[in-house]
Amino acid sequence: MSTERVKVFIIGSGPAGYTAAIYAARAGLKPVLYQGGQPGGQLTITTDVENFPGYPEGVMGPQLMMDLQKQAERFGADIRYGMVTRVDFSGWPHRLTVDERTEIEAESVIISTGASAKWLGLEDEQRLNGRGVSACAVCDGFFFRGQDVAIVGAGDTAAEEASYLSKLARKVYMIVRRDEMRASKIMQQRVKNAENIEILFNTETEKLIGADGLEKVIVRNNASGEKRELDVTGFFVAIGHQPNTDIFKDFLDRDESGYLKTVPGSSRTNVPGVFATGDAQDKIYRQAVTAAGSGCMGALDAEKFLAEKEMELAGQA
């Protein structure tokens, strides 16, 4: 197995990873970035992105990721295909294995592995993803102004997104599997007080219908077995996200949901020289622009760490 030593090693290629690469490359740190299993991250399966600064007419998700990659490469970032399969943060430099073929000795590591939306597993869910089906109401709700939409979920995030959609859509159906919601009382009250939100308790989604875009959703009442057709053009899944952090669980502190813990106001983890950015550590905002901002933080924190490490080693010489 070949071994390579790098100053800054970036895992993941969404807005956080590419922004970290841009900053680290401009600082002359020659970062190496491995794109992972989904090069470009979740935005590569997103169509129109209208809320990322600098694109007044909006931009397609894949194009935005290509632009960020080109910008990083322009400053000398080494962008590679490949998946990190093992890590060892027990000593310094940190050791990582890529595709079981290449071993990396990294003086600093920036984690930008993101999070994956949890889906219902319906037959046409992925086929209609980006064509009426979405896992982010804040990202895509704008495209459904004046239309009828449905949202699945019962927690605070679902309630918050339902409230957000109610300000844009004509009608919002909130599909709740049980006979009660898990959301906090204040969030439940907000949903119940919205005139254009109809909560369907004891209800599950059975089928999504649409050729080139979503046209209908068939739901079933769990108590009566009665089925109902909802004429909606938007269907939002808000049942949570799963951070892609399992590979780090033996070394890095995580919360109960698996998100990496960082020192407040920084990207620093519990292991010196390892930094967490983007959706791998952010369960609140989960936006492209906030991920990019945290990628900047990761690169600046890594740059500071490396400078301090260099002084420490020089003092020991």
**Domain assignment of residue 149, given as a range:** 119-237
* Residue 217 and residue 147 share a domain: yes
- Looking up residue 308, the CATH number of its domain turns out to be 3.50.50.60
Give the three-class secondary structure for 233.
coil
Question: Is residue 139 annotated as part of the catalytic site, yes or no?
Answer: yes
Residues 6+ apart with CB under 8 A from 243: 113, 114, 115, 254, 257, 258, 259, 260, 279, 280, 281, 283
Q: Closest Cα partner for 101 from 87, 113, 84, 117?
A: 84
The helix (H) or strand (E) run that includes residue 74 is helix 61-74
Catalytically annotated residue among 78, 124, 139, 296? 139
Catalytically annotated residue among 88, 140, 179, 212? 140
* Residue 161 and residue 71 share a domain: no
Q: Closest Cα partner for 47 from 221, 277, 220, 213?
A: 213
Q: Closest Cα partner for 236 from 146, 140, 115?
A: 140
pLDDT band at 315 (very low <50, low <70, confident <90, very high): confident
Residue 157: predicted pLDDT: 85
Domain end position, chosen among 237, 262, 290: 237
At 94-105, the pLDDT tens digits run 999 999 999 999
Residue 95: predicted pLDDT: 97
Locate 108 and state its tokens: 């600093």
Domain end position, chosen among 174, 204, 237: 237
Q: Report strand pairing: 78-80 vs 133-134.
A: unpaired
pLDDT for 38 beyond 90: no
pLDDT for 139 beyond 90: no
Would you call the peptide bond into 39 cis, given omega within 30 degrees of 0 as the criterion? no
Number of domains observed in the structure of the chain: 2
CA–CA distance, 109 with 313 (Å, rounded to integer): 19
Locate 196 and state its tokens: 């254009």
* Residue 245 and residue 108 share a domain: yes
* Residue 274 and residue 221 share a domain: no
Cα–Cα–Cα angle for 171, 174, 179, rounded to 5 degrees? 145
* Residue 306 and residue 208 share a domain: no
Question: Is residue 140 annotated as part of the catalytic site, yes or no?
Answer: yes
Model pTM score: 0.81
CA–CA distance, 262 with 250 (Å, rounded to integer): 16
CA dihedral (134, 135, 139, 144) positive or negative: positive
Catalytically annotated residue among 88, 99, 136, 250? 136
At 183-198, the pLDDT tens digits run 999 999 999 999 999 9
* Residue 247 and residue 106 share a domain: yes
Domain end position, chosen among 195, 214, 237: 237
Q: Which of 35-49, 57-71, 267-281 has the largest mean confidence?
A: 267-281
What count of other Cβ atoms lies within 10 Å of the Cβ of residue 4?
Answer: 12
Residue 317: predicted pLDDT: 66
